Amino acid sequence: MVGKMADLAKLQTAVSDLEEDLVLEIIDEVMAAGGDEAQAAMEACREGLGKVGDLFEAEEYFVSDLIYAGEIMTQAIGKLKPALAKGSDRKLGKMILCTVEGDLHDIGKNIVRAMLEAEGFEVLDLGIDVSPAVIVDTAKKEGITIVGLSGVLTLAIASMKATVDAFKDAGMRESVHIIIGGNPVTQESCDLVGADAWAVNPQLTVNTCRAWAEGKE
């Protein structure tokens, strides 16, 4: 028997209202019904998270609320991941993801990692406060061609630029695609850093990295 359709509008609202139990209950319903709505459920969660960001900017939510929302999102994607990957043996290869040197934030990075893994990437998550040297050395050792740099603080832009420059100094810049993301990132900062692309949300990061991996630049 086909399970009942999940209430995705309710899911979106539950995420934006930070109702963890309700979010996970609806996600469990999606998976119990076979997981066919997993992609739609993930999109509902993402839209709910976007609303959380709007409420934060309106000063109705606080940093602690952002952190909590990120934890809820990470749990939800973790539950959905088997269904998102089901029916596809696609392997998009390895890529690096990290928060750059001087920045200790990892909520956004963790959400992006979960979504990239669901898409078929093997993500080498180097963590937070990662130096340009470590990123370049790892890329060289692992044969990495896609690198995702995350940051929330304004100082992250300088660290991102230092990382791109380190790839240039190592003679590897032409063989690596670099995408940057986080609160301070704009087209202007992307041009300053010298990255190949920038993303305003996790889904755009996933889409860009997938296109690179599949050679659809």
Residues 113, 201: one domain? Answer: yes
Residues 80, 162: one domain? Answer: no
Could you report the per-residue pLDDT of 155-210, keeping only the tens digit for each?
999 999 999 999 999 999 999 999 999 888 999 999 999 999 999 888 789 889 99
> Range of 123's domain?
93-213
Could you report the per-residue pLDDT of 58-108, keeping only the tens digit for each?
889 988 888 888 889 889 988 998 887 765 556 789 999 999 999 988 888
Residues 103, 79: one domain? Answer: no
pLDDT range class, residue 3, cuts 50, 70, 90: very low
Q: Which of 33, 66, 85 is the last residue of a domain?
A: 85
Residues 178, 120: one domain? Answer: yes
Residues 45, 111: one domain? Answer: no
What is the helix, strand, coil percentage profile of the chain, to 5?
Answer: 60, 15, 30
- Distance of alpha carbon 142 from alpha carbon 127, whole angstroms: 16
Predicted pLDDT of residue 63: 80
Q: Which of 37, 64, 85 is the last residue of a domain?
A: 85
Residues 50, 121: one domain? Answer: no
Could you report the per-residue pLDDT of 138-151, keeping only the tens digit for each?
999 999 999 999 99
Please, are residues 115 and 147 in contact by the beta-carbon 8 Å criterion? Answer: no
Tell me: pLDDT of 5 over 80.
no
- Distance of alpha carbon 61 from alpha carbon 52, whole angstroms: 7
Q: Which of 35, 56, 85 is the last residue of a domain?
A: 85
Among 10-14, 33-37, 105-109, which range has the highest average pLDDT? 10-14
Listing from the earlier edge strand, what are the strands of the sheet with 177-181?
Answer: 121-130, 93-100, 146-150, 177-181, 197-199
Tell me: pLDDT of 1 over 50.
no
Query: Where is pLDDT greater, at 217 or 102?
Result: 102
Predicted pLDDT of residue 203: 78
51 in a structural domain: yes
What percent of the chain is modeled with pLDDT above 70? Answer: 94
Predicted pLDDT of residue 90: 63
Mean pLDDT over 46-50 rounds to 84
Residue 64's domain is classified under what CATH number?
Answer: 1.10.1240.10
Residues 102, 142: one domain? Answer: yes
3 in a structural domain: no
Domain count, the chain: 2
pTM recorded for the entire structure: 0.76
Mean pLDDT over 110-122 rounds to 84
98 in a structural domain: yes
